[in-house]
Chain A
Amino acid sequence: MSNAVNPAPKATSPPLRAKPTPKLPSHVSEMKTEENNTGVACNAIEMQDLCSWYGNFQALKSISLNVQKNKVTAFIGPSGCGKSTLLRWVNRMNDTIHTARATGSLHMGTLDVLANTTDVVDLRRNVGIVFQKPNPFPKSIFENVAFGPRLHMKLRRSELIDIVEWSLRKAAVWDEVKDRLHAPALGLSGGQQQRLCIARTIAVGPEILLMDEPCSALDPGSTLAIEELMNELRKQYTIVIVTHNMQQASRCSDETAFFFEGELVEMNKTQSIFTNPNNKRTEDYISGRFG
C-alpha cells in the first residue's frame, strides 16, 4: 500500500530542492489513501449548532458549517467574533481554558470531537495547530521537529532524521536550516520560526491543519513564503486558516466563512464571497467599511 502511494508526494511536494525528496515516512503516506483516488470532495469537519461559552459570555452562537477535505477554508471577521474560539474547538485546545464549554455537535467523520470520551491526544495528533505567534520550543531545530514524532511513535534514529528532513522540506525551510539543524530554534528569524512550527506540526502526520492567524506577526516576505506553503500543503491536508488579512483570505483559500459577533454570517466559495457577497455585513466588512 505504501509503495503505491509513495510517488504521489514526490510529485505534489513543491519546494525547490537540491537533494531528492527523502523516502516518505510510512505514517504520512497512509493517511491520504482515499482522497486522491476518489477525487470526491467530502467533509472533513461537520459542525451543527455549535455554541460556546467562556463563563457566562457566549462566544459562538449556533454555528453550522462544513469544512471540505483538501480545501483551504478561511475564517474571517473582526476581532472577538469567535473565529479563533471555533478553531480551537476543532482540536479541543479550549480544554486548557477552564471556563470554556461548548454544546452542539462537531464531528470529524465518525468521531464526535466534543464527547468526553474522545481521546484528545489522538485527536490533536490528527488535527495539528499553528499559532499566531511562532512558538518554537527552546531546543534545537532538529529537536523541535522531532518532538511530535517522538511522542507518538517508536522510531529508529534514521527514521526520525528522515521525518525531520521531510517535514522541514515540506515547510519550505529546509534549505535555510539544513546546515544548522542542531542550533537553537530561537535563533531563527520570525518567518523561519513560523515555518519551523508548521514543520513541527506536519511531522506528526495530521490530516487537518489549523492555522490561527499564522502570518500576523510576520513581514510580507515571510507571509508570502507561508502562503505559498499553504498552496502546496492543500494537496495533502485540509487547512483551516483564521486571518485578519482580507487579501490573504482571497489569495489562498477555497472557501471563506465570515463571522460576526459569534455568528456565522456567510460561508461560500471565496470567489463569490469577495465578488458577490450575499449579506450586507459581509460586504461592509470585506470592503473595509467596519471591523
Chain B
Amino acid sequence: MSDTEPSKIDHEKSDPPEKRATRVDKGATAAGQSSVPFERPQLLTTDARIKKDIRFRRMCIITACTSILILAFLLGSILTAGIPTLSWTLLTGSPEPEPENAGLWPALMGTLWVCAMCSLLTLPLGIGTAILIEEFTPRNKVAKKIFNLIQLNITNLAGVPSVVYGILGLTAFVSMFSLFDKSENSLGPTFEVGAVYYDQFSNLASDPFVDTGGADVPERFFLLPVESRNAASVVPRTGMLAYENGESGLTQVDIIAIDPLSEQPSTDPDQLSRTIDNQSTPGRISENQWYYLRLPFGRGVIAGALTLMLVILPVIIISTQEALRAVPATLREAALGLGSTPWQVVWNVTLPSAVPGIMTGSILAISRAVGETAPILIIAGIVYIRSAPQHLMDDYTVMPLQIYNWTSRPQEEFHNIAAGGIVVLLAILLSFNAVAVLIRHRMQNKLQ
C-alpha cells in the first residue's frame, strides 16, 4: 500500500493545476478540501466519467446510423427501380437493342467465367506467396531485406487504382508486349491451337436474279474448310467437302457450285437449295474448341481474369498473411516439437487453422473482382457481345460493364433494366459473402 503512494502523487503533480482545481470543484464527494492538496490524489468523479462514456457511446451510434441510413437509401432506390424489371428475360436474354427484350445472360456468364478463372489463378498464387513470406522467413540478412522489399511492394500494390492495372493488363496480357507480332501478318495471333477455319457461302435461294421456278427455297449456309486464318479464299467447286451450318451444328452436304451469269441453275428445289455462286465473296469464320489457345491472348476471358488477378492478388496475400499471423505460435511450436518439418507444420497445423480467415479474405477479394469495372473497360473494350463465352479466348463482357452501358443510353427503360442488373449483381455479391460467412462458421465450429 505504502509503496504505491509515491507514484500516485507523481501522477497528481503532473496534472496542470487549473485542471485539478475544476475537478475538485465538480467533485461532490471530493469536496472535502484538504489543506495540502498534493498529498492525496483527486480522482475523476464517477459522474464525469459516466458522462464521458455516454457521450462517446452516442457518437458511435450517430456515426453508425449515418452510414446505415446512406446504405439503406441507396439500396431502397435501387430496389424500387430494379425489382419491377426483374424477369426471366433479364436473366437469360442477350442485350437486345429493345429494352423489353434485353437481358444480361452474356454479361452474367462473362462475370462468372472471369471470376472463376481469376480465383483459380489467384488463390494458389496468393496463398502460396503469403505462406512463403509468413512461414518461411529467411535468417540470412540479404534474403530478409529482399523479403521486406517484397512485403513493402505488396502493401503498396494493394493501394494502386485498378485502372492502372487495366493498362498494365492491356500491355502484358492482351497484346503481350507485342512479342508475338513479328510474323509476316499481323492480322491474327501468331500462335493458335484448337481453331478450325471455314469460308462461309450462302445458297442462291435468296438471290433475286435467280429463277427458282416458283419453288419456296430456304436460305442455307455452307462452310468450306480452309487451312488457316490467313489462307487464300477458297473457290467453291461442285463436289468439294462442305458442311451446312445449321441448327444442329455442322452436317456434311453435297454442294453444287455454278456461275449464275453463264449457267442456269436447276429448278429442282432440293438442288437449288444446295447451289452456291462460285464467284461470291466468302466470309471467313472459325470454330474454336473448348481448349482454344492463342498468343497473344487478345481481348479474351483469360486476359480479363489475369488482369483482375493483378487487382486482387495483393489483397489476398495480405489477408492470408493476417490469417496466418493470427494462428498462435504455440501451435507451431507444438507441431515442431513433435518432429514436423516446416512444411508439415504449415500443411497440418497452420493452414487448417487459418482457413476461415483465408476464405473470408479471398471471397471478399473475389467480390471486389466481380464489381470491378475500370480494368475490364480497358481490356475488354465496349464490344457488343450477344452470347456467353465458350472458351478462354472468347470475347466477353461483364455485368458492371453491361450496367454501365445501359445507364449511358438515353432511354428511360434502359435505366430501369440497369437497376434490375444492379439488383442481380448485388444478389451475386451477397451470395458470395454468405458463402464466406457459412464456411467460416462451419470451420470454426469444427475447430472449437
What is A's interface to B at a CB cutoff of 8 Å? Answer: 91, 93, 96, 98, 121-125, 128-129, 131, 133, 135-139, 147-148, 151-152, 184, 186-187, 197, 200-201, 204
Inside 8 A of B328's CB, which chain A residues have their CB? 135
In contact, B448 and A124 (Cβ under 8 angstroms): no
In contact, A147 and B348 (Cβ under 8 angstroms): yes
Closest residue of chain B to A187 (Cβ to Cβ) is B448
In contact, B338 and A131 (Cβ under 8 angstroms): no
In contact, A138 and B337 (Cβ under 8 angstroms): no
From known contacts A133-B330, A135-B331, A135-B334, infer whether A151 and B447 are also in contact, taking CB-CB under 8 Å: no
The dominant DSSP class at the B interface is helix
From known contacts A131-B333, A131-B334, A138-B353, infer whether A121 and B341 are also in contact, taking CB-CB under 8 Å: yes
From known contacts A138-B353, A147-B348, infer whether A201 and B448 are also in contact, taking CB-CB under 8 Å: no
From known contacts A98-B139, A184-B448, A186-B447, infer whether A137 and B339 are also in contact, taking CB-CB under 8 Å: no
In the bound complex, how far is the Cα of B330 from the Cα of A289, in angstroms? Answer: 33
From known contacts A98-B139, A184-B448, A186-B448, infer whether A93 and B333 are also in contact, taking CB-CB under 8 Å: yes
Inside 8 A of A129's CB, which chain B residues have their CB? 337
In the bound complex, how far is the Cα of B196 from the Cα of A113, in angstroms? Answer: 66
In the bound complex, how far is the Cα of B338 from the Cα of A131, in angstroms? Answer: 12
Closest residue of chain A to B445 (Cβ to Cβ) is A184
From known contacts A186-B447, A186-B448, infer whether A135 and B333 are also in contact, taking CB-CB under 8 Å: yes
In contact, A121 and B339 (Cβ under 8 angstroms): yes
In the bound complex, how far is the Cα of B140 from the Cα of A212, in angstroms? Answer: 29
- Which chain B residues numbered 297 to 322 have a C-beta less than 8 Å away from chain A? none
User: How distant is B14 from chain A, measured CB to nearest CB, in Å?
Assistant: 31
In contact, B339 and A184 (Cβ under 8 angstroms): no
User: How distant is B125 from chain A, measured CB to nearest CB, in Å?
Assistant: 27
In contact, B341 and A135 (Cβ under 8 angstroms): no
Partner of A135, one of B330, B348, B447: B330
In contact, A91 and B337 (Cβ under 8 angstroms): yes
Partner of B339, one of A98, A133, A148: A148
From known contacts A137-B349, A184-B447, infer whether A151 and B338 are also in contact, taking CB-CB under 8 Å: yes
Inside 8 A of A91's CB, which chain B residues have their CB? 337
From known contacts A121-B341, A124-B337, infer whether A138 and B330 are also in contact, taking CB-CB under 8 Å: no
In contact, A201 and B335 (Cβ under 8 angstroms): no
In contact, A204 and B139 (Cβ under 8 angstroms): no
User: How distant is B348 from chain A, measured CB to nearest CB, in Å?
Assistant: 7
Inside 8 A of A123's CB, which chain B residues have their CB? 339
From known contacts A96-B332, A98-B139, A184-B448, infer whether A151 and B340 are also in contact, taking CB-CB under 8 Å: yes
In the bound complex, how far is the Cα of B337 from the Cα of A148, in angstroms? Answer: 9
In the bound complex, how far is the Cα of B332 from the Cα of A129, in angstroms? Answer: 13
Answer whether residue B336 sits at the interface, using C-beta atoms and an 8 A cutoff. Answer: yes
In contact, A121 and B334 (Cβ under 8 angstroms): no
Answer whether residue B344 sits at the interface, using C-beta atoms and an 8 A cutoff. Answer: yes
Inside 8 A of B341's CB, which chain A residues have their CB? 121
Interface flags for B345-378 (1: CB within 8 Å of A; 0: not) read 0001100110000000000000000000000000
User: How distant is A9 from chain B, measured CB to nearest CB, in Å?
Assistant: 21
Closest residue of chain A to B330 (Cβ to Cβ) is A135
Interface flags for B407-448 (1: CB within 8 Å of A; 0: not) read 000000000000000000000000000000000000000111
Inside 8 A of B336's CB, which chain A residues have their CB? 93, 96, 124
Partner of A201, one of B337, B340, B352, B353: B337
Inside 8 A of B348's CB, which chain A residues have their CB? 147, 151
Partner of B344, one of A98, A131, A151, A201: A151
Inside 8 A of A152's CB, which chain B residues have their CB? 339
In the bound complex, how far is the Cα of B139 from the Cα of A187, in angstroms? Answer: 37
Inside 8 A of B447's CB, which chain A residues have their CB? 138-139, 184, 186
Inside 8 A of A187's CB, which chain B residues have their CB? 448
Closest residue of chain A to B341 (Cβ to Cβ) is A121
In contact, B331 and A124 (Cβ under 8 angstroms): no
In contact, A128 and B337 (Cβ under 8 angstroms): yes
User: How distant is A208 from chain B, measured CB to nearest CB, in Å?
Assistant: 12
Closest residue of chain B to A140 (Cβ to Cβ) is B446
In the bound complex, how far is the Cα of B326 from the Cα of A138, in angstroms? Answer: 14
Closest residue of chain A to B353 (Cβ to Cβ) is A138
Can you list 14 contacts pairing A with B, beta carbon distance less than 8 Å?
Answer: A91-B337, A93-B337, A96-B333, A98-B139, A122-B339, A124-B339, A133-B330, A135-B331, A136-B334, A137-B331, A137-B349, A147-B335, A147-B348, A184-B448
In contact, B339 and A151 (Cβ under 8 angstroms): yes
Inside 8 A of A197's CB, which chain B residues have their CB? 334
Inside 8 A of B338's CB, which chain A residues have their CB? 124-125, 128, 147-148, 151, 200-201, 204
In the bound complex, how far is the Cα of B349 from the Cα of A187, in angstroms? Answer: 18
In the bound complex, how far is the Cα of B332 from the Cα of A122, in angstroms? Answer: 17
